Structure 1
Amino acid sequence: VYVDEFKRGYFPESCPPSSHVTLIFPKTDKTKGDVTVHWMDGGIQPERPDELGANELFGDGGNGTLFIGTKGKMMASTYGDDPRLLPLSRNQEVKVPQTLARVPGQANGHYGQWVEACLAGYGKKQVSSPFETAGPLTEALLMANLAVRGYDLQRPKTSGKGFDYPGRGLKLLWDNQQMRITNLDEVNRFVKRDYRAGWKLA
């Protein structure tokens, strides 16, 4: 955030007006290679796909998701709603069989499913977004937050005048087994807090 001409403000406790974070997930036995995810907010959007017509809405006009695969592209609206192939004419040609049961009631249905599972007890009711799926997804988005927070980390210059910003220009490396950034230790203070004496999590 610029507070004056060519003068950047420093607000480490608040999020920026916009951000673009790139997450790279290494190849697994379920992918053909690394998977790159771009998270954009605050009005930043990916380049409009060439396959989209001039009068066709990108996403839902303000939010959405764009998938770029080896055989084509697909877009969706907010929270993955209404997925459709690009160009949109392909949706008349390609019919994908439904293999997963849908949760009735959309977002409210997911909340209800969560409550029902809690009442039933652990492992007694199948849910559409179990911890095995939701946990890594949440972890990935929190890594994006680490990148944003790390960008504004200040380190006093050895000269005693001004600050360096060690989190800028780096590619942060995440160890999901140890739950920590391995190449910029200062960022790890945002992962876990040090509880004062007399308080701890078991």
Structure 2
Amino acid sequence: AVYVDEFRRGYFPDSCPPSSHIVLNFPEEGDRQKVTMHWMDGGIQPERPEELEPNEIMGDGGNGVLMIGDKGTMMCSTYGRNPRLLPTSLNEVIAVPETISRVPEGHYHQWVNGCLAGYGEMKMSSGFETAGPLTESILMGNLAIRSYDYLEQVTETYTDDTGVEKSRVRDTFPGRNIQLLWDGPNMKITNFEPANQFVKREYRDGWSLGI
């Protein structure tokens, strides 16, 4: 929740909020353990890791990534640059082997080369099988933000101080203070139907994508 005044939450139906904290829960599946991901922006930052020395900078000072596991913590700068173990003294005694091939020509050039080669003709560092689910998870964050500001107006009756019954319109936000449940194979939210209007729109006649 973003507060724009004393005890008054902000409402941003046409733009992103000035800050947000989104939590994505990926359940255990097969040999993959449960993962909880926190996305924070607009100045919101996680708690400072205990492994950092008092004068060491968290991330790159403004942005960064923390990966907290059962056996330790890793910290990166913006976009995953400069990954290092915490405490940072471990980087002097532990050599992490390189298991993922690098992209010497850069991702942009690789993308162009892949387009020229044709679908399925070139192994990409981040193919559709990886980039698709990644994009889907990130868009879930936007879906949570849009659902948070979904507005419904309800009419309610009340009795004033003189005993006269009156009616008034009250703004409600049913997408707040709930957890959205995502059905990936069917591409829909299962427990809050209004959110699905942001997943797929109804196109006008003649503008359908045919899917």
SS of match in other structure, 2:88: coil
1:48, 1:20 → 2: CA distance? Answer: 16
Alignment partner, residue 104 of structure 1: 104
Normalised TM-score (structure 2): 0.89
Task: Answer 1 or 2: which has greater strand percent.
Answer: 2
Amino acid at match of 2:178: L
1:184 maps to which of 173, 188, 192: 192
1:136 offset after TM fit, Å?
0.4
- What per-residue deviation string (whole Å, max 9, x for no partner) do you get for residues 127-175 of structure 1? 1010100110110010011101100111112425112110111000000
1:59, 1:40 → 2: CA distance? Answer: 13
Alignment partner, residue 159 of structure 2: none
CA RMSD of aligned residues (A): 1.4
Amino acid at match of 1:90: L
Large movers: runs of 4+ above 3 Å: 1-9
Amino acid at match of 2:61: G
Alignment partner, residue 122 of structure 2: 125
The yes-or-no answer on 1:28 pairing with 2:36 is: no
Q: 1:161-176 maps to which residues of 2 (within 5 A)?
A: 161-176=169-184
2:40, 2:200 → 1: CA distance? Answer: 25
Aligned residue pairs total 198
1:45, 1:70 → 2: CA distance? Answer: 21
1:91, 1:5 → 2: CA distance? Answer: 46
Task: Rate the CA distance shift 1:112–1:90 in 2: closer, same or farther, 3 A.
Answer: same
1:24 offset after TM fit, Å?
0.3
SS of match in other structure, 2:169: coil
Q: 1:149-168 maps to which residues of 2 (within 5 A)?
A: 149-159=146-156, 161-168=169-176
2:10, 2:97 → 1: CA distance? Answer: 52
- What per-residue deviation string (whole Å, max 9, x for no partner) do you get for residues 3-49 of structure 1? 55444443201100000000000102232x31100011111111000
Alignment partner, residue 143 of structure 2: 146
User: Which entry has the higher C-alpha Rg, 1 or 2?
Assistant: 2
Unaligned runs of 5+ in 2: 157-167
Task: Rate the CA distance shift 1:110–1:8 in 2: closer, same or farther, 3 A.
Answer: same
Amino acid at match of 2:192: L
Alignment partner, residue 41 of structure 2: 41
The yes-or-no answer on 1:18 pairing with 2:34 is: no
Identity of aligned residues (%): 62
2:41, 2:8 → 1: CA distance? Answer: 23
Amino acid at match of 2:48: R
2:192, 2:199 → 1: CA distance? Answer: 12
Alignment partner, residue 56 of structure 2: 56
- What per-residue deviation string (whole Å, max 9, x for no partner) do you get for residues 54-95 of structure 1? 111111111110000000100001111111000000011111
